[in-house]
């Protein structure tokens, strides 16, 4: 009897582990954390740094940020970067994804004036990471355009292709040893939120116009930097790409209309930025929809800029991996064609986004749907020829009330289980995963009200102390073992339940 019960216990443990996905991430799989310059550095006007569009926004329109928060000091990583690297090393992580503040290195945005102190900061950060065997993953642009460049049109100005290329050259020449580069982080947010609806800096509201010009400029800028890197720095042999945010659109019903609506949504929100780089040209459904509505709205040509054959050739294939950020899932329903009196991106897309009320919600209301990341990864594989995918952001907020952030641990268990299924069941080539974020930080218009960090930061203390949350230990164990940790409390609970059930059965034998 004793042997039998012990056997049952082991079976229970194995079954429980299987429920949480006990597969091992492949050898060489990378686990890291991410931050962005504006969100953590602070020192907004120190050592020669110039003003950027977020500096301008928080100082001239403070009510646009929760609690009138600013990132003037933020996490003070400009002065505490060594401590940050120490935290990353303590978690056994392979990489640290951070971004460069363009205006810290080039205060006016133009390459004729290089700020040596700003450049030295990033050189020291890379040196510190390399000394701890942590791979720097450097994003050149994470939303913080120098204000002087915005004054001349920002990402709607064709000259930005040249200015961005010159800035990228400065960084590539001076950050020796960097093997992973990303040109842009989430161009959809840059273009749609920054120039379409105007919810993020620089808060331009040109719905259906500027939010199509912006992707045209950005993908050309990306391609120019990619070719410059490959042609002018052949000995570096690093990887260069771009990072897209991809949220899953699940058909709200089995109808053909809703299925097509979900696919249309994916192409407008992901394909608009990825297609030119991974396939050449815009997605056909995007071209057709914008052209159709533009004609009905009495435009002489489509509001979506048309690539030349030379541009298509230059942009196509400019990637070494696909950077992928994922946070949530939505339901997609088809809607009827609206009138043509008003133009707008949403009218072009013609999709209603909703949520299933049964889905779990995070404190900020975003649905927690682990299978959404697997479906998105599979869609990327099928749509773009199975490229290497580097997950560059994934995370959830806690409410900031405790260091016992079980919501984050449960979130990562679910999402990482789905990533494992994508790798082993769908044969998606995922090579790395990056948690957002290393620590609580300035979350754009949410200020300090959103807490995404593995480490808590006390923003009322001038020293900005970092304190590990429960999830930090979980994530460190994951990185060390390449397996999703399972708590002993849960294992023991499962074992006792199984044992009790077995004893009950034996009462009737």
Catalytic site positions:
186, 393
Instruction: Read off the DSSP letter of residue 508.
Output: T
Classify the C-alpha dihedral 109-111-114-118 as positive or negative: positive
Which residues is 391 bridged to in the sheet? 324, 433
Instruction: Read off the DSSP letter of residue 439.
Output: B
| Closest among 136, 224, 229, 139 to 187, alpha carbons compared | 139
C-alpha distances in angstroms, 309 versus 224, 280, 312, 314, 318?
A: 16, 10, 5, 9, 15
Structure tokens at 209: 């116009």
Which residues is 352 bridged to in the sheet? 333
Which residues is 436 bridged to in the sheet? 34
Q: How remote is the C-alpha of 292 from its chain's centroid?
A: 32
Which residues is 33 bridged to in the sheet? 96, 435
Cβ-based burial of 199 (10 A; exposed 0-12, middle 13-18, buried ≥19): middle
**How many C-beta atoms lie closer than 10 Å to residue 63's C-beta?**
7
Report whether 475 contacts 31 (CB < 8 A): yes
List, in order, residues 6 or more apart from 24 with CB less than 8 Å away.
Answer: 482, 483
Token pair 């949410």 in the structure block, residue: 446
In angstroms, the first-to-last Cα distance of the chain is 13
């Amino acid at each position: 009897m004793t042997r039998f019960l012990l056997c049952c216990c082991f079976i229970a443990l194995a079954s429980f582990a299987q429920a949480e996905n006990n597969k091992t991430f492949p050898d060489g799989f990378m686990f890291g954390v991410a931050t962005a310059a504006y969100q953590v550095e602070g020192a907004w006007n120190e050592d020669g740094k110039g003003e950027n569009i977020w500096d301008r926004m928080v100082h001239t329109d403070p009510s646009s940020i929760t609690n009138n928060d600013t990132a003037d000091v933020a996490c003070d990583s400009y002065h505490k970067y060594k401590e940050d690297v120490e935290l990353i090393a303590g978690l056994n992580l392979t990489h640290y994804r951070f971004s460069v503040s363009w205006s810290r290195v080039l205060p006016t945005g133009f390459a004729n004036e290089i700020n040596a102190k700003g450049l030295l900061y990033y050189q020291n950060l890379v040196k510190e990471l390399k000394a701890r065997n942590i791979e720097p993953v450097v994003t050149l642009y994470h939303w913080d355009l120098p204000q002087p460049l915005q004054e001349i049109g920002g990402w709607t100005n064709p000259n930005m292709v040249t200015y961005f290329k010159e800035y990228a050259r400065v960084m590539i020449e001076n950050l020796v040893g960097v093997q992973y580069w990303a040109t842009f982080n989430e161009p959809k947010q840059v273009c749609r939120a920054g120039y379409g609806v105007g919810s993020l800096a620089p808060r331009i509201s040109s719905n259906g116009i500027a939010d199509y010009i912006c992707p045209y400029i950005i993908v050309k800028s990306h391609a120019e930097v990619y070719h410059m890197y490959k042609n002018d720095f052949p000995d570096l042999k690093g990887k260069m790409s771009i990072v897209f945010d991809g949220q899953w659109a699940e058909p709200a019903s089995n109808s053909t209309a809703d299925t097509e609506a979900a696919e249309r949504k994916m192409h407008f929100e992901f394909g608009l930025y990825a297609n030119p780089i991974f396939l050449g040209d815009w997605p056909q459904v995007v071209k057709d929809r914008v052209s159709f509505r533009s004609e009905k709205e009495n435009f002489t040509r489509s509001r979506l800029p048309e690539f030349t054959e030379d541009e298509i050739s230059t942009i196509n294939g400019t990637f070494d991996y696909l950077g992928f950020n994922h946070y949530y899932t939505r339901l997609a329903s088809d809607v009827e064609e609206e009138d043509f009196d008003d133009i707008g991106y949403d009218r072009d897309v013609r999709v209603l986004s909703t949520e299933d009320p049964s889905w779990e919600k995070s404190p900020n209301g975003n649905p927690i749907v682990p299978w959404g990341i697997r479906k998105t990864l599979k869609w990327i594989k099928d749509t773009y020829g199975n490229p290497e995918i580097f997950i560059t952001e994934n995370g959830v907020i806690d409410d900031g009330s405790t260091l016992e952030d079980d919501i984050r641990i449960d979130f990562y268990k679910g999402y990482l289980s789905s990533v494992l299924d994508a790798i082993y069941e769908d044969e998606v080539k995922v090579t790395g995963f990056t948690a957002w974020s290393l620590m609580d930080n300035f979350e754009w218009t949410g200020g300090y009200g959103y807490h995404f960090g593995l480490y808590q930061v006390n923003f009322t203390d001038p020293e900005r102390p970092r304190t590990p949350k429960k999830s930090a230990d979980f994530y460190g164990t994951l990185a060390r073992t390449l397996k999703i940790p399972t708590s002993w409390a849960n294992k023991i609970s499962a074992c006792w339940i199984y044992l009790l059930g077995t004893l009950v059965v034996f009462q009737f034998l």
